[in-house]
Amino acid sequence: MSDPQLPNSLTNPQLGRLQVDHLQILQQRYEQAMAAHGYDALLISSGAAPLRYGDDQAWHFQGYGPFLHWTGLVGREHCWLLVRPGQRPVLWLYQPVDFWHATLTLADEPWHGSVDMRTVDQQLPADLPGSGRQAVIGDPAVIAAVAGDHNPQALLPALEETRVHKTPYEIACLTQASRVALQGHNAARDVFLAGGSEFDISLAYQQATGQREADAPYHSIIGLNAHAGTLHYQYYDTVAPARHRSLLIDAGVRYRGYGSDITRTTAGPGEGRFAALIHGLDHLQQRLCGMVAPGVSYPDLHHRAHLGLAALLGAAGLVRGLDEDAMVAQGITRAFFPHGVGHFLGVQVHDVAGKPAPPPADAPFLRLTRTLEPGMVVTIEPGLYFIPSLLEPLLTGPLAKHLNAGLIRELQGCGGIRIEDNVVVTAAGGRNLTREAGG
């Protein structure tokens, strides 16, 4: 029986070499973090999927971030990685003989030479070398039986910090993740324009990306018409609507653990006003992407997104009689754009360490409050939505005179717009991985 092929194989030999360098960089970063917190050894669990309560079926498993950061091995339960200063990491790869399930073997790759790989049929690491003070990180239910300090609260932020500046290997993986996702976005748009349902679009996305829904970095958001106005719309209507006014698809792909996070919005035939709004938001989004550079405060970028949105709301005739600063200060732009302008991206879609400081009071959902530095990878994802529960209070309150209620109600049937790309901060500015890949 041949092993199942997953779409994660190395796209070129250079990537294999970059991964070897990546492991060397992680070794240095981890050694520093461990030394700073007095640890001689660190054991990382890949995790394991719990059973659903009262059931013998497990949740779909993807893997714990630090384990993916080191190995890229998504979907591998009961594996462990031991990191110690000055030594090759030890990887216990769980490969039981199991007639119920297939066991994935690994194709030979250059990085295997950088670790001491032990294929085992036990769920706990065997022959753990006694190595002084040991930390163990991972899902508490999985690491419970292993000796050491579990998820030490002082060490964890230092480990998260090792994920902030992406290595060239990580950027190459994220580039490939954008590239493959765009094939899915193109297929999704075609099925929308051909009159498909949300479910049809999700199938087309999976087919074009070679990735099943459960393996995606997050649940793909596919909303037609008013559904596009629910930020994290989570269903797939199997019935196509009578009229296709809009499609919002927010969907990514994982490549060797790294996820893209891309959103595109398409207007249906005859939706000229909505198409013009998409065009305006796309222009704003590209301007914001162009502002990505070292030294830029991400909360400032979020504020600029609001100012740009205010200009668009005014130009489109949705809001009248207020200047841009006033629209922002009075919370009008927030009713149309309630989420943050983006976040860190990596082995988790909302990657860690984005909020050493809390977000500004007027941006409670902003997931990134840092100043940008080379090597960071962020999303840039402004939106413009017609969300009844946020707009109704404005339409019936003291600011109502500034709002074009007729136009808002007309466009509510199109739901909303989000446009999202993945951008690397470079020494010279930013590299838009998504547009570079043709998106």
For residues 94, 98, 104, 105, the Cα torsion angle rounded to the nearest 10 degrees is 70
213 is in an annotated binding site: no
Residue span binding Mn ion (CB under 5 A) among the ranges 296-304, 354-362, 387-395, 416-424: 416-424
Which residue's CB comes closest to Mn ion? 250
Work out the burial of residue 230: count CB atoms within 10 Å of its CB; fewer than 13 is exposed, 13-18 middle, 19 or more buried.
middle
Q: Provide the token pair at 373.
A: 């530095």
351 near Mn ion, judged by CB under 5 A: no
- In whole angstroms, the minimum distance from the beta carbon of 343 to ligand GLY comes to 6
60 is in an annotated binding site: no
Q: Strand 258-259 relative to strand 429-432: parallel, antiparallel, unpaired?
A: unpaired
381 is in an annotated binding site: yes
Q: Rounded CA gap, 43 and 57, in Å?
A: 28
250 is in an annotated binding site: yes
Q: Which amino acid is at 116?
A: D
Q: Provide the token pair at 234.
A: 């989570």
261 is in an annotated binding site: yes
- In whole angstroms, the minimum distance from the beta carbon of 220 to ligand GLY comes to 9
Among 170, 200, 261, 324, binds Mn ion (CB under 5 A): 261
Q: Provide the token pair at 43.
A: 């054991």
C-beta closer to ligand GLY: residue 114 or 209: 209
Partner from Mn ion, ligand GLY, none binding residue 324, C-beta < 5-8 Å depending on class = none
Residue of 43, 38, 63 whose CA lies nearest to 256:
63
Q: Rounded CA gap, 274 and 408, in Å?
A: 11
Applying CB under 6 A, which residues contact ligand GLY?
Answer: 218, 250, 261, 349, 381, 420
C-beta closer to Mn ion: residue 209 or 263: 263
C-beta closer to ligand GLY: residue 199 or 218: 218
- In whole angstroms, the minimum distance from the beta carbon of 285 to Mn ion comes to 12
Among 379, 422, 432, 434, binds Mn ion (CB under 5 A): 379
62 to 9, 58, 72, 308, 376: CA distances (angstroms): 17, 12, 11, 37, 23
Q: What share of the chain is helix, strand, coil (3-state, %, to 5)?
A: 40, 15, 45
19 near Mn ion, judged by CB under 5 A: no
250 near Mn ion, judged by CB under 5 A: yes
- In whole angstroms, the minimum distance from the beta carbon of 190 to ligand GLY comes to 22
CA atoms within 13 A on the CB side of 164: 18
C-beta closer to Mn ion: residue 261 or 271: 261
Q: Rounded CA gap, 337 and 281, in Å?
A: 11
Binding residues: 250, 261, 343, 381, 420
Q: Give me the residues that bind Mn ion (CB under 5 A), please.
A: 250, 261, 263, 379, 420
Binding-site members for Mn(2+) are: 250, 261, 343, 381, 420
